[in-house]
């Protein structure tokens, strides 16, 4: 088995949808160190979409990344409108890693698809 690589700095990608919160921790090059979700933290159904579930999921993932790879400083990229996004940020801060950047990378349409035709009554 390959030796664990040490990554003092890394990136945390948080994808907060209305149904779940996904967390991925990578090194600077983008290789995944640890990942998890509200569902993987043991929540099912509508409880996955709660801020509490997001907090527990982030704590679990950051702890794994710190223990296995010595993660110390992170850049955070948040995507999506879900309820777990703010709670996830607070959990990263509480986990004891230094935050160097917080960026919102939610995809926004510049103009989107063509609208439906006007309704005739």
For residue 25, the model assigns a pLDDT of 93
| This prediction's pTM | 0.85
> Which runs of consecutive H residues, i.e. helices, occur in 1-121?
51-69, 84-94
Q: pLDDT tens digits, residue range 11-46?
A: 999 999 999 999 999 998 989 999 999 999 999 999
For residue 59, the model assigns a pLDDT of 93
pLDDT at position 1 over 60: no
The full set of domains in the chain, from first to last, is 9-104 (3.30.420.80)
* DSSP output for 82-109: -THHHHHHHHHHHTTPEEEEEEE-----
Residue indicated by tokens 């159904």: 45
């Amino acid at each position: 088995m390959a030796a664990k690589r040490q990554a003092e700095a890394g990136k945390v990608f948080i994808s907060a949808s209305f149904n779940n919160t996904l967390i991925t921790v990578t090194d600077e090059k983008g290789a995944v160190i640890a990942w998890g979700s509200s569902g993987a933290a043991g929540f099912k159904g509508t409880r996955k979409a709660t801020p509490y579930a997001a907090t527990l999921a982030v704590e679990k993932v950051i702890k794994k990344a710190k223990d296995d790879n010595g993660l110390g400083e992170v850049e955070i990229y948040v995507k999506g409108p879900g309820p777990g996004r703010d709670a996830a940020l607070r959990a990263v801060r509480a986990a004891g890693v230094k935050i160097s950047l917080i960026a919102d990378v939610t995809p926004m349409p510049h103009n989107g698809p063509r609208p439906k035709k006007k309704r005739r009554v």
